Structure 1
Amino acid sequence: MPDRLLAFLLLCLVAGAPFGAALLWTGNLILDFVFFYPLFMSGLWMFGGLYYWLHWERRWPWGPDVAPPELRGRPWVSILIPCHDEAEHGADTILSALNQRYPRVEVIAINDGSTDDTGAMLDQLAAAHPRLRVIHLARNQGKAMALRMGALAARGEYLVCIDGDAILERDTAAYLVAPMINHPRVGAVTGNPRVRTRSTLIGRVQVGEFSSIVGLIKRTQRIYGQVFTVSGVVAAFQRGALDRVGYWSLDMVTEDIDISWKLQRDHWSIFFEPRALCWILMPETLRGLWKQRLRWAQGGAEVFLKNLPGIRAWRHHRLWPMALEYCISTIWAFALALSLVLWLIGLSVTLPGHIRVETLMPPAFTGMALAAACLLQFCISVFIDHRYERGLFRSLYWVIWYPLAYWMISLFTTLCGFPKVMLRRRRARARWKSPDRGIKAPTS
């Protein structure tokens, strides 16, 4: 089936499912789905996070005085850092990579056509640090190409890839590489990013997000077998696994989601390592947050549509729960949008009873259940993650705003990103611009 025809049919399916349901069900049942789906997902994430912690994580030693894991055979580890206009933050990133306690580490910085002083900064650091090598690309080729060039130049079998504004803890590289040595079928390990920009409400809310949402999701996905995506800001890969799947795709908006699916379609596993801490910069303005999340939504849709025809065979059945979760989340966004449209129309036009939406306010019991689930989810995530980051309990004050922000952003980015991907005729080379780095970036 041609790709564009398949995309059109999927669009009809996703957009039409809630509309058809609205014709068959009452508006109240649609609202039940809209309200109870986030409640169900919250319960699933809490169960998965607790199971992961009880089954594995609570037994793992952790603390400033705990020695890093021993890497059998003492292999070389190459840390790849693609940089584009990172003159302000790049030096701290490079130094944190060079200061890893594991000694057999090389750092490769790829200057991807920067227009500021990134190139001069990298050359100055390379002159002072023999383990740092710099690759200069004359033009902006995109993060995927920068990573490819770094991988080709690397001497290590294990590649740790971080963003040009991320700061690694001193043992992060060892924690990322150890699972791949101990489990040969692990092709990638995703780390644990922690937000260090928290000057505005948007920044503070994201502190809670990466603990109560991202961390629990990663743990839960490891329970049912597959991970939707590695964290593009901090992840490690086996070079042999990358070579089998053709490395990072050059035409995908989110290369991290794409490489995750490519590896898992080739039957490689992806692990989550919560002890592999990485301090990151996040947007602190509405405009920056919108651009970032729209790119994530568009990238997820691209990868989903690209891989859907190829995972129908039984040998890819471990990817089905991940695909199903994505489908239902997309249907939820369109169902909420349809409910909103029907409610607005109903304010001025008398609609038939079976499609009339009386109110968008949840029933008292549903609202209380959502609020209780949200608070319980935050408490569980803080309980699990508090040993990795101090002061997480203080973030509970700010994350009361998060449920509304998270689900509203998911709604609008899905409504904008999914049709955009489906209706696009062809994919071009994915290039990047320096994103919103936050208003103030305190160190960890």
Structure 2
Amino acid sequence: MMLLGQESGTLWEATGWLLTAGYIGLISIISMYGLHRYWLVFLFRKHLRQSKRPGERFEKLPRVTVQLPMFNEEMVAERIIDAACEIDYPSDRLQIQVLDDSTDSSREIAEARCKYWANRGIDIEYLHRIDRVGFKAGALEAGMTSVKGDLIAIFDADFVPPRDFLRKTVHYFTNPTLGMVQCKWGHLNRDDSLLTKGQAIFLDGHFVIEHTARNRSGAWINFNGTAGIWRREAIEAGGGWQHDTLTEDVDLSYRAQLAGWDFLFLPWLDCPAELPPEINSFKSQQHRWTKGSIQTAKKLLPRIFTSNIDLRIKIEAFFHLTAPMVYLYVTLLALLFYPAIYVNLNTTGSGRLTGILLGMTFFALGTVSGGFFYVISQRVQKRGLLSTLALIPMLMAIGIGIAVNNAIAVLEALIGHDSAFVRTPKYNVQSPPLSPSSAPISPPTSHTHISPPQTNKKRFGVIAIPTQKLSICLLEIAMGVYLLECIRLSMIHSRTVVSLPFLILFAAGYWYVGLTSLWWHIQAWRSSRLSMAQTAS
């Protein structure tokens, strides 16, 4: 009996140490990516004043093609076509391509608007496909057959390019090695809700900190699919638009830079766009971006690692393309909370508590880095410190809450599960223009474009999203219930109370995302029922 008890104790000890090792290992990996954010902030501050201007100016402006890929964009098709046709550029040097794969009434809207502008002397071409092969990448590739411009500007349907966009970007292409210029995304509906405020901060961190830090330090950046302008030759040298990933923009960006082309990011030039106003649209967008990034990492990291580029570029490419893996690590960490707490309560080893405390220290380091990263991105745009700090807990909760949704995307990419390119629904929501206090950073001149006031806010029925299944939000709610049990256990045992703040943050994130997703599923169902009833009547 004593021998049996000793074997049982040994097995328990081994299991405990294995769980603790896994727990600490996950936190260490998450913290590694968190520490990398500190590095990006350091690079950003170091190179903040290194704003670039065109070395020369074209005597004769180059011919530019503006491509507008769209699919079932009834709410915004007219707005983006009008904005593109009103861009300030010589009409004999400008071509507009509307690349429309629509299957609903937006096809008639877009085609009619193209005829309107064609009758006013605009060189505008309406191209409609019926097969959607390759989705957005396929539409862009199909448009290349009739492109007239040496430069190609691309705008998604929810963007509103400023009239002076081309005037402020084309002269950078006097540099013969420049392949692409990316501009910063602005936000038409930033202040609509806590969700849109959170999304705006997420995107500001990516553009203001990441893009600026990488680009000005000599590392590689990516085209973000819109609000950018390419040299046609760079697209062709990179192998053209390919559709074996869901992020064709990131894929082509790295292939073009592997082919030797330089990229430039202009943080001072805003191109405003609509943020997804409801959680399921946001989750669908995040799923696509996450999955596409991991697909691109699988496809291109081996080529990048075996190329003769600088080691620092390879390291940055690794962190950039694999960053979405953190969502999988966060989900696994959450699942380990309960066994980690249970092992800590029942083990006799005095070193186990030290391991848990060390793990929580690593996790706190990773968490604080995220808050610091986003606060800096807001402060440099002259947004209030207190208002930003007040949003950080919400920001962290959203990031944790969508971890399950994005972890599924990571797993799908890793196992090679194919899925369609699902567009983010557009609602044509609009807000007043940016105030001077939120002007873009580091403008090369004193003239910064401010969008004209747009205060007619439209509200439409909620659009259902096929990829956002009800089961995902139920799983998120289940994770919230699980975390509540972890909180209960932690509160009644002092040895694990150190983990309580993180457990509360995780629970809040899962409950917020899960319940709001469920709410919008119900609203989409109601909108669908109402639409069917109206059609029947």
Residue 82 of structure 1 contacts residue 143 of structure 1 at CA under 8 Å; is this kept in 2? Answer: yes
Flag structure 2 segments of 5+ consecutive residues without an equivalent.
1-16, 434-537
User: Residue 145 of structure 1 aligns with which residue?
Assistant: 138
Displacement of 1:249 in angstroms is 0.4
What does the per-residue CA deviation read over 1:166-199, in whole Å, with 9 as the maximum and x for residues that have no partner? 10112222333332x2321121121111121232
Residue 155 of structure 1 and its aligned partner are, at CA, apart by 0.9
Residue 247 of structure 2 corresponds to 254
Aligned partners of 1:384 and 1:118: how far apart in 2? Answer: 42
1:79-104: CA deviation from partner (whole Å, max 9, x where unpaired): 10011112221222122222222323
Aligned to 2:189: 197
Conservation of the 8 A alpha-carbon contact between 2:75 and 2:427: no
Instruction: Tell me, yes or no, if the aligned pair for 2:78 and 2:113 is still in contact at 8 Å.
Output: no
Instruction: Choose 1 or 2 for highest CA Rg.
Output: 2
In the alignment, the residues of structure 1 paired with residue 129 and residue 366 of structure 2 have an alpha-carbon distance, to the nearest angstrom, of 53
Alpha carbons 1:334, 1:415 under 8 Å: kept: yes
Corresponding position of 1:417: 409
Q: Provide the secondary structure at the position in 2 that maps to 1:236.
A: strand
Equivalent position of 1:16 in the other structure = none
Q: Alignment RMSD, CA only? A: 3.5
Give 3-state SS (helix, strand or coil) of 2:219's partner: coil
Q: Which moved more, 1:256-265 or 1:345-354?
A: 345-354
Residue 235 of structure 1, CA deviation: 1.6
Counterpart-to-counterpart distance in 2, 1:147 and 1:311: 25
Query: For residues 30 and 244 of structure 2, what CA distance do their matches in structure 1 show?
Result: 36
Whether 1:404 aligns to 2:396 is: yes
| 2:161 counterpart of 1:158 | no
Q: What is the aligned residue count?
A: 404
What CA distance in whole angstroms lies between the structure 2 residues aligned with 1:170 and 1:161? 14
SS of 1:271 mapped into structure 2: strand
Q: Note the C-alpha offset of 1:263.
A: 0.7
User: Judging changes above 3 Å, is the alpha-carbon distance between structure 1 residues 383 and 114 closer, same or farther for their aligned structure 2 residues?
Assistant: same
Q: Is the 8 A contact 1:175 1:273 kept in 2?
A: no
Question: Counterpart of 1:50?
Answer: 45
In structure 1, the partner of 2:121 is 130
Q: Displacement of 1:275 after TM fit? A: 3.3
CA distance in 2, matches of 1:251, 1:34: 29
* Counterpart position of 2:339: 345
Q: Does 1:325 find its partner at 2:319? A: yes
Shift of 1:327: 7.1
Is 1:285 aligned to residue 274 of structure 2? no
Partner of 2:5: none
Aligned to 1:184: 176
Q: What residue is the counterpart of 1:168 in the other structure?
A: 161
Letter in structure 1 aligned against 2:275? M
Question: In the alignment, is the contact (CA less than 8 A) between 1:37 and 1:332 conserved in 2?
Answer: no
TM-score norm. by structure 2 comes to: 0.66
Residue aligned with 2:49, SS = helix
Q: CA deviation at 1:315?
A: 1.7
Of Structure 1 and Structure 2, the greater helix share is in 2
Aligned runs of 1:108-119 on 2, under 5 Å? 108-119=97-108
CA gap of 1:40–1:89, structure 2 versus 1, over 3 A, is: same
Shift of 1:321: 1.6
Note if 1:79 corresponds to 2:70: no
SS at match of 1:284: coil
Is residue 80–residue 161 contact of structure 1 (8 Å, CA) maintained in 2?
A: yes
How far apart, in 2, do the equivalents of 1:284 and 1:370 lie? 26
Specify the SS of the correspondent of 1:55.
coil
2:153–2:229 Cα contact (<8 Å) kept: yes
Q: Structure 1 stretches of 5 or more lacking a match?
A: 1-21, 62-68
- Per-residue deviation at 1:376? 5.0
In the TM superposition, what is the alpha-carbon distance from 1:56 to its structure 2 partner?
1.9
Residue 441 of structure 1 pairs with residue 430 of structure 2:
yes
Which of residues 65, 76, 80 in structure 2 aligns to 1:93?
Answer: 80
| 2:28 is the alignment partner of 1:33 | yes
1:358-409 residue CA offsets vs partner (Å, 9 max, x unmatched): 479945x9859955x56654453234335xxxx6779626632454146426
CA contact (8 A) 1:298 1:417 kept: yes
| Matched residue SS, 2:111 | helix
Gap change, CA 1:124 and 1:28, over 3 Å in 2? closer
Residues 221 and 253, structure 2, Cα contact 8 Å, conserved in 1: yes
Letter in 2 for 1:262: R
Given that residues 80 and 107 in structure 1 are in contact (C-alpha distance below 8 angstroms), is that contact kept between their aligned partners in structure 2? yes
Return the offset for 1:219: 0.7
**In the TM superposition, what is the alpha-carbon distance from 1:29 to its structure 2 partner?**
4.8
Among all aligned residue pairs of Structure 1 and Structure 2, give the percentage whose two residues are the same amino acid.
18
Q: Which stretch of the first structure deviates more once superposed, 107-116 or 158-167?
A: 107-116
- C-alpha separation in 2, matches of 1:273 and 1:149: 28
Contact 1:187-1:270 within 8 A present in 2 as well: yes
Q: Distance in 2 between matches of 1:99 and 1:205?
A: 31
**Secondary structure in 2 matching 1:167:** coil
Please identify, of 391-400 and 113-122, the stretch whose mean Cα deviation from structure 2 is larger. Answer: 391-400
When structure 1 is superposed on structure 2, of 275-284 and 163-172 the one drifting more is 275-284
Aligned counterparts of 1:423 and 1:374: Cα–Cα separation in 2: 29
Q: What is the alpha-carbon distance in structure 1 between the residues aligned to residue 83 and residue 138 of structure 2? A: 23
Q: Spell out, residue by residue over 1:99-120, the C-alpha distance to the aligned partner (whole angstroms, 9 max, x if none).
A: 2223232211111133123333
Query: TM (normalized to structure 1)?
Result: 0.78
Q: Is the 8 A contact 1:301 1:418 kept in 2?
A: yes
**Cα distance in 1 for residues equivalent to 2:195 and 2:184:** 20
